Amino acid sequence: MKKLRLLVPAALVPLVLASACGIDDSGDVAGSVNADGSFTVDTANCLDPAAATKEIGDTIKFGWSVALSGPVAATQVRVNNGLQARIDHYNEAESDIGGRAIDFTMKDDAYDPQKAKQNVTEFIERDNVDVLGAAGTGQLAAVADDQNDSCVPLLAGQVAAPQFRDAQTYPWTTTYLPSNTLEMELITQLVTSEAPDAKVGLVYAQSESGESYRTAFKEAAEKAGIEIVVEAPVTTPEEAASQVREAGADVVFNGSVGPDCLGVPEAIARAGIEPEMLIQVSACADAKSIYQAGGAATDGAVLMSWAKQPGSADLESDEAWQEYAAAVTAVGGDPNDNYTIMGWTMMDIVIDSLRTADKDGLTRENIINAARTQTFHPELFLDGIDWSMEPETSLGIAEMQPLRWNAAEGRFDPLGDVLTVSK
Amino acid sequence: MPASSMTDGAPRTRIPGVPSGQRRHVAVMVLVIALLLLGSQAPVYRVSQLTAVFIFALAIMGLNLVAGYGGMLSLGHSAILGVGGYTTAILINDARLTPLSTIPVAVVLGVLAGALIGLPASRVKGIYLALVTLAFAVSFPEFLKRFDGLTGGAGGLIVRSRDLVPPPWSGFTRAERGEWMYWLAAAALLLGFALVRSLTSSRRGLAIRALRDHEVAAVACGVSAARDRVTLFAISGGITAGAGALYAMYLGALSPESSFTVFTSIQLITGLIIGGVATSLGPVIGGFAVVFIPAVTTELTNGQAYGLVFGVILAAVVFLMPSGIAGWLNGLPKALSVHRHRGTKHDPERHDGG
């Protein structure tokens, strides 16, 4: 034990002495917004500045780290079908980025940040990919710094967390999912117009996403002067519904995802509550597994959307939808799946930013400069809603259409006009 | 690695004044350094994987102390790993301390957390102790979410790469952070190895193993079961928390829902079983298993294959090598010797003297 007593301090003391100072907080300048509104990323800080400005050859390499196994794989695979189908459609029918083909690789991270880091390190160091993708806040957090230091664009990350929208902190990263803050602001706009004196029951999941929705909704409600009469955690849907009933809420906001997208509306119906409005988050958009399965419990449920919804009658004559449906069917996916639609539109946006970048020569630098100021209307977005990026806000989606589920017809109907976030 | 170090199940016989032991130690050190140098020359992504191996090996080494040498199954080591990780992340982000200077603090808090988790070990054993420690693993993510002002809550914590740059005296630049982490993790693993060797070969180590194998006899000989078990948990906690601190520096992102859950505990236990319980090399082999089995299966085929391959390997190891890969390797010279001996006995030509 003598040796042991000596060993520990002998190891620890030099560590402390060698690094007792604090961190140098002088930051790097990541990029600048030009007078014409365009964005110029600073490549001087890249680990390999020459690679960032080198023209990409005949093949554009994409590397996506996503869950193909583990608890979220069942949902993520449906998104992946949309991603793959859009790539296949480009390679087979378009190839209009200087005639280049896209080599698309997905690696399984099982929704684990450590595996995501391994995947992205391999993509950057071994595979020399030109564009990266990732899904999940924890996964993106684990890879964003390495990816930014390496100056490889990570486009349309499947993440809603607001911190990755900061172009100065993460100049080489863009994200696709609308921020919860934005969505909650639009929901409170809707509540104010449709139910001005609403008493809102806020139901939330005790999870990362649930807490995020809860915080964002409370802030937006406070700004809009909306009264929240109860905050009910989903310990069980029945318990949450019971609290909502006791508080006398006439509008229910369900800020939970996954099985509770359906579980909460069903519990509310079972508790005999008939709210003036039942509002779901946009992540609960899957018509088949939630609303058709919910029957009367989900009839009239409201959510915000920016993409076309399966089941709409006008889709039969929609050429873009037909192309999408054929491509998704070819990869074995279901065109009527909302997650697949999301995957397709994400990749649609990525491909468009590459087209824009190619006008000045397809380099990683031009790709991210184009992506940070991109304005584009993906054909599967609803009319009147564009993908619009500005370096200051990097919102992408700043408008949404309220939709109401029509159980009798088995489809979503528009509820009022497209709502826009206040500047 | 000295051959004697791999036969940790039985007390070793010390023969003072024999220089061959020292020569063997030097040879092993030279071999280890040569292997580390070889590893550092691998492509960057492989160096990153090896860094993860060292970190997990260190965490498993901590678990091996209590589960292997102490015979107490702990499912709470994910929480201790998290204590180390979050301590480092919080001290870097909020106190603006350099990453290295956070490690001793993480280790001290890990010792305290280990002692806390180990307290029940003085009263309960076996499956009951496993269940009590499981409670720590289950409640740790909830604890993180509850104290969101400090821990970032459900959203977790991000440590920026610019805060994780190697110290100037190391000679590594910001671009060489991966290589710096490789050597830091390797040094920590070697230090942990020396610490565990020192402990298990000491009188206290003998007492701990005696408690595991013959508690009544050990107590009758004057061993304090409660004190030694809590102490063992505390030391184990310090080692595992050190691994947690390195994990935070390596990954730069911590989340209560994905970083330190019960699944992490199961991962550590699985690595230990595959590597070899109560062996010196077991944790290192376990670290390789935890990192490389998913990586290799992902390269072979995407999808659910990882879980299947991991399960098959675990089942195969348990059936074919119940003492783990290191345990099997330990027994190999003896098995070969017995085989050779039998061969000699039954070989008529040799009986005849050739």
Quick check: A135 pLDDT over 90? yes
Choose from B146-150, B236-240, B333-337 the range with maximum mean pLDDT: B236-240
* pLDDT-derived band at A254, boundaries 50, 70, 90: very high
B83 within some domain: yes
How many Å lie between the alpha carbon of B323 and the closest alpha carbon of chain A? Answer: 27
* pLDDT more than 70, % of chain A: 93
CA distance B143 to A305: 35
Nearest CA in chain A to B176: A47
How many Å lie between the alpha carbon of A248 and the closest alpha carbon of chain B? Answer: 28
How many Å lie between the alpha carbon of A399 and the closest alpha carbon of chain B? Answer: 25
Cβ-nearest to A11 among B191, B256, B302 = B191
Q: Which of A122, A132, A211 to mutate to test the interface with B (most CBs of B within 10 A)?
A: A122
CA distance B323 to B329: 9
The residue ranking higher by pLDDT, B108 or B226, is: B108
Cβ-nearest to A113 among B203, B259, B298 = B259
SS (H, E, C) B156-216: CEECCHHHHCCCHHHCCCHHHHHHHHHHHHHHHHHHHHHHHHHHHCCHHHHHHHHHHHCHH
Of chain B, the end-to-end C-alpha distance in Å amounts to 37
Report the predicted TM-score, pTM, of the whole model to 2 decimal places: 0.80
| 3-class SS of residue A173 | strand
Residue-wise pLDDT for B67-93, tens only, equals 999 999 999 999 999 999 999 999 999
* pLDDT-derived band at A32, boundaries 50, 70, 90: confident
CA distance B145 to B34: 44
pLDDT at A25: 59
Residues of B in contact with A128 (CB under 8 A): none
B256 within some domain: yes
Q: Which residue has tokens 């409005």?
A: A277
- pLDDT, average across residues B130-152: 90
Residue-wise pLDDT for A37-65, tens only, equals 778 899 988 988 999 999 999 999 999 99
Residues of B in contact with A51 (CB under 8 A): none
Q: Residues B95, B96, B98, B99: is their CA dihedral positive or negative? A: positive
pLDDT at A244: 97
Domain of residue B134 covers 44-261
* pLDDT-derived band at A416, boundaries 50, 70, 90: very high
List the strands of the sheet with A59-66, edge to edge.
Answer: A101-108, A59-66, A131-134, A154-157, A173-175
| 3-class SS of residue B352 | coil
pLDDT at B322: 86
- pLDDT, average across residues A308-313: 82
CA distance B333 to B324: 16
- pLDDT, average across residues A212-218: 91
* pLDDT-derived band at B349, boundaries 50, 70, 90: very low
Nearest CA in chain B to A208: B154
- Assembly ipTM: 0.72
pLDDT at A423: 60
Nearest CA in chain A to B254: A138
* pLDDT-derived band at A10, boundaries 50, 70, 90: low
Q: Which of B63, B78, B26 is nearest to B254 (CA)?
A: B78
Q: Is B97 close to A122, i.e. CB distance below 8 A?
A: no
B5 within some domain: no
Residues 6+ apart with CB under 8 A from A270: A238, A241, A297
Q: Which of A375, A197, A50, A117 is nearest to B255 (CA)?
A: A117
Residues of A in contact with B251 (CB under 8 A): 113-114, 117, 142
Q: Is B195 close to A8, i.e. CB distance below 8 A?
A: yes
Choose from A401-415, B51-65, B249-263 the range with maximum mean pLDDT: B51-65
Residues of B in contact with A209 (CB under 8 A): 154
Specify the range with the lowest mean pLDDT, choosing from A16-20, A75-79, A81-85, B322-326.
Answer: A16-20
B334 within some domain: no
B81 within some domain: yes
Choose from A193-197, B222-226, B328-332 the range with maximum mean pLDDT: A193-197
Quick check: A101 pLDDT over 70? yes
* pLDDT-derived band at B354, boundaries 50, 70, 90: very low
How many Å lie between the alpha carbon of A29 and the closest alpha carbon of chain B? Answer: 13
- pLDDT, average across residues B106-126: 91
Q: Which of A6, A8, A209 to mutate to test the interface with B (most CBs of B within 10 A)?
A: A8
Nearest CA in chain B to A121: B45
B109 within some domain: yes
- Residue B194: both structure tokens together: 């020396």
B165 within some domain: yes
Nearest CA in chain A to B95: A22
Q: Is B104 close to A208, i.e. CB distance below 8 A?
A: no
Q: Report the number of distinct structural domains present in chain B.
A: 1
- pLDDT, average across residues A168-187: 93
Residues of A in contact with B178 (CB under 8 A): 121
Quick check: B10 pLDDT over 50? no
Query: What φ, ψ does residue B84 adopt, rounded to 5°?
Result: -65, -45
pLDDT at B161: 85
Residue-wise pLDDT for A143-166, tens only, equals 999 999 999 999 999 998 888 999
Q: What angle do CA A152, A157, A161 make, to 5 degrees?
A: 120
pLDDT at A218: 97
Residue-wise pLDDT for A350-376, tens only, equals 999 999 999 999 999 999 999 999 999
Specify the range with the lowest mean pLDDT, choosing from A312-316, A380-384, B307-311.
Answer: B307-311
B114 within some domain: yes
Cβ-nearest to A113 among B161, B258, B306 = B258
Residue-wise pLDDT for B207-233, tens only, equals 999 999 888 899 898 888 889 999 999
Quick check: B235 pLDDT over 90? yes
* pLDDT more than 70, % of chain B: 88
The residue ranking higher by pLDDT, B121 or B39, is: B39
Q: Is A113 close to B251, i.e. CB distance below 8 A?
A: yes
Residues 6+ apart with CB under 8 A from B41: none
Q: What angle do CA B225, B231, B236 make, to 5 degrees?
A: 125
- pLDDT, average across residues A79-84: 97
Which domains can be identified in chain A, with CATH numbers?
Answer: 31-178+317-392 (3.40.50.2300), 180-305+401-420 (3.40.50.2300)
Residue pairs spanning A and B at CB distance below 8 A: 147
CA distance B167 to A303: 51
